Amino acid sequence: MYSVEAKNIDAIVAKYGPATKQGAVVGGQTSTKAPEIAAFDKYLPPDVQIVSCHSLHGPGVDPKGQPLVIIPHRVTSDAAVRLVEDVLSSFQSKYVPLSAAEHDRITADTQAVTHAAFLSMGNAWQAQQQFPWELPRYLGGIENVKINLTLRIYSNKWDVYAGLAILNPSAKKQIGQYAESVTDLYKLMLGGHRQELTERVHAAGAAVFGGLKEEDELLLQDELLDQFSLGERPEKRVKNNHLSLLAMADCWWKLGIVPYDHMICSTPLFRLWLGITEYLFRNPALLAECIDTGIQDNTFRSEDMEFCFAARNWSQLVNLGNMEGYKEHFEKIQRFFQPRFADAGRVGNEMIRTIEENLQTRKRK
């Protein structure tokens, strides 16, 4: 089993692959399968069977019940797949069989663009020299998820996200579209184009969430969202245009992605991101408030501008395949938030555990 960074997989397999035991079963746990499978095909002896895998959750998350992708790329018998499943059975995860290409497309649709949103939020806060848990605008409800998951991402190693974004052939388009959606919506807000903004937001909502019925239960509820805060919640909620969430739905719409189609392969982070986006779009009053705030309220224009710059910058780094630039930018922001990683990790783990339990309870009803 090759459990190395995607950026190093070719060199590592080139070094050790030719010495693989005859008839062995080989796999990898990289987050992007295109370079991994290419390296296996290139360097492993022809008698070796290839059954790869990928656990779709981050560190600190209980693997029980989480999706674990199994990729039978080159097999001569089902016994090879069963062997890999037996080896991984202690995780008690839910096996999902996919091809390498399917895996990369789905992770691009779910993880890569989701990470881009959180990376951009952290980038914007750092550029403004803001700790969001100290500002009333970013406390309570949806904001708790944004802050906790942003800090969760920045507390991890940069290469986890760089490899998934830069080395995944399907990811550049998704990340680029998210940056474009952020920019387009921000321009409409700046220009005061209420009707066009309203029509575009509602078109995105209809495309992404239109298949849901009114009686369908929300993925996330108020009482859950309000539990997990790193700061003291203000008495009165501060209005927010939620540009990051409006752009996410717009991005899914423009790419023709229906996120619910990927729930079987979704990560906890993606389910939370989808949950708060759904929460916004299925609340007509809150959605209307976002549009009003985006058009009328100039209080946070500078934050939104930095968020727009950040989304475009991350997209550019990915398009250029700039690993070193990605690392430098990521670690600069990481250092800014470092003092709160311990608190965010504790609260974030509890948030994910509680919400996952709630989702499992709903499934059993």
Of the listed ranges 54-68, 198-212, 241-255, 336-350, the least confidently predicted one is: 336-350
pLDDT of residue 364: 46
Rounded percentage of the chain residues whose pLDDT exceeds 70:
89
Label residues 340-357 b or e (16+ Cβ within 10 Å = b).
Answer: bbeebbebbbebbeebbe
For residue 295, is pLDDT > 90?
yes
pLDDT confidence bin for 213, thresholds 50/70/90: confident
CATH, range 6-98:
3.40.50.720
pLDDT of residue 204: 97
pLDDT of residue 358: 65
For residue 16, is pLDDT > 90?
yes
Residue 274: exposed, middle, or buried by beta-carbon count in 10 A (0-12, 13-18, 19+)? buried
Q: What is the pLDDT of residues 45-80, one digit of tens each?
A: 999 999 999 998 877 778 888 889 999 999 998 999
Q: What is the pLDDT of residues 268-289, one digit of tens each?
A: 788 888 888 998 999 999 999 9
pLDDT confidence bin for 221, thresholds 50/70/90: low
pLDDT of residue 240: 87
Helices and strands per DSSP (H, E), number in the chain: 16, 4
For residue 361, is pLDDT > 70?
no
pLDDT confidence bin for 229, thresholds 50/70/90: low
Locate the domains of the chain by residue range. Answer: 6-98, 102-364
Cα distance between residue 201 and residue 311, in whole Å: 19
pLDDT confidence bin for 142, thresholds 50/70/90: confident
Distance of CA 156 to the CA centre of its chain: 13
For residue 328, is pLDDT > 90?
yes
CA-angle at 131, arms to 294 and 174, nearest 5°:
55
pLDDT of residue 235: 65
pLDDT confidence bin for 207, thresholds 50/70/90: very high
For residue 363, is pLDDT > 60?
no
**How many residues does the structure list for the chain?**
365
DSSP string, 113-164: HHHHHHHHHHHHHHHTT--GGGSGGG-STHHHHHHHHHHHHHTS-HHHHHHH
Query: 52 - beta bridge partners?
Result: 71
Q: Average model confidence (pLDDT) for the chain?
A: 88
Is the distance from CB of 112 to CB of 165 less than 8 angstroms? Answer: yes
pLDDT confidence bin for 345, thresholds 50/70/90: confident
Q: What is the pLDDT of residues 89-123, one digit of tens each?
A: 999 999 999 999 999 988 888 888 899 999 999 99
For residue 41, is pLDDT > 90?
yes
Question: How large is the average pLDDT for residues 223-228?
Answer: 61
For residue 238, is pLDDT > 60?
yes
pTM tops 0.75, yes or no: yes
Which among 312, 280, 272 is positioned nearest to 123, based on CA atoms?
312
Q: Higher model confidence: residue 22 or residue 344?
A: 22
pLDDT confidence bin for 201, thresholds 50/70/90: very high
